[in-house]
Amino acid sequence: MELKRVVVTGLGALTPIGNDVETTWKNAVEGKSGAGPITHFDASLFKTQFACEVKDFDPAAHFDRKKARQLDLYAMYALVAADEAIADAGLDNEDVDKNRVGVVFAAGIGGLHTFEEEAGYYALNAEKGPKYSPFFIPKMIGDIAAGHISIGHGYHGPNFATVSACASSNNALIDAFNLVRLGMADAIVAGGAEAAVFPAGVGGFNSMKALSTRNDDPEGASRPFSGSRDGFVIGEGAAALVLEELEHAKKRGAHIYAEVVGGGMSADAYHITATHPEGLGAQLVMENALKDAGMKPEDIDYINLHGTSTPVGDISEAKAIKAVFGDHAYKLNLSATKSMTGHLLGAAGALEAVFSVKAITDGIIPPTINHTEGDNDPEVDYDLNFTFNKAQKRDVNAVLSNTFGFGGHNAALVLKKYKD
């Protein structure tokens, strides 16, 4: 069968550096960090006492009291980002058949805060017997954000969640891309949300020694590809994109940001949390994405890196890029936007897809911040252009966006400039 072309017609974001797409992108281009002391709970006894939290978020501004009681914070974030993308795309207009619109929305963890609260209450009151909120399960489960988005907008198309740790929302975008190009939907609202900056999230990652402990310098803690990096900075928020069949978008006069042309998936099959030291899974996923897109390595201008600021992960990704792109690797712009936003876990891929789209439309590569001269890792090739510290202008025709998750899950998305 002939595959249909898929375009991006809507963007939404709620992030540590902005509560909408415009603000988030502006601050990313300016190289602003979203890190600061944790405010969601008292973290004074934790090894890591900072995070990239969403700022100035008031649930009452978005949800009435009854609705708010039904939602974990991660689902609130998801709904706000999805609503922005849907409004941007004009997807609720009368000319859209809602039976042909779906939602694929990811979470790596889901309602962690709800689970922690309910389990903690029972532990403190076990002698009284079980007493759980009737909203406990529907607030906690990772698919509920997709359900709430469809209920709120009346979308009857395919509806589910993807879970592959930090690759979750890239997998959501790939599934949405496939559903639309196979003709199973006219449009899909796709993305991811996460809200894990709570004791169980921070404590759990601390026990793995995965998080930075640079408590005296939160804004400078996420420093991908620098020699002094000591772990990632946990973040929270959500991002959403509307993926739409090209002719459907054109017929209703939708604004087209970019075209989705390929998606790749692979597994490291190596370790539950560590990436393959030679980046074999990362190499394979980029090759698969390029093959699916029908593109050659030299067709790519920019790679939005997974780049979490972990000692092993950054090196393995850089090795994989050199293996896939050869000499062209030195002509690419690379950047790790997690240096500013922190790591949004299951929402990371969707946010980085938004950044990739904006890089195409605006001709600007967002930076990798916090690198200082001389702070080098002998295993990193600094002839590669990591776009350190300052955004760079460049005509961007095609972008590859990488995400890798615990369990060895890898997903990569290819977007390019739309041409009729």
The owner of tokens 């079980």 is 130
In this structure, the number of other CB atoms found within 10 A of the CB of residue 157 comes to 21
In this structure, the number of other CB atoms found within 10 A of the CB of residue 39 comes to 11
Q: Does residue 231 contact residue 339 with C-beta atoms inside 8 Å?
A: no
Q: Give rounded-to-5 percent helix, strand, coil for the chain.
A: 40, 20, 40
Whether residue 166 lies in the annotated active site: yes
Cα–Cα distance between 127 and 95 in angstroms, integer? 57
Q: Which of 40, 248, 306, 409 is catalytic?
A: 306
Whether residue 156 lies in the annotated active site: no
Q: Does residue 162 contact residue 168 with C-beta atoms inside 8 Å?
A: yes
Q: Which of 166, 248, 371, 409 is catalytic?
A: 166
Q: Report the candidate in 176, 355, 349, 346 with the shortest Cα–Cα distance to residue 260.
A: 176
Q: Three-state DSSP class for 335?
A: strand
Whether residue 409 lies in the annotated active site: no
C-alpha gyration radius of the chain: 20
Q: Which of 113, 153, 276, 343 is catalytic?
A: 343
The token pair at 85 is 């993308």
User: HSE-up of 281 (CA within 13 Å, CB side)?
Assistant: 24
Q: Does residue 221 contact residue 233 with C-beta atoms inside 8 Å?
A: yes
Q: If you ran DSSP here, which 8-state letter would residue 198 be given?
A: S
* Residue numbers annotated as active site: 166, 306, 343
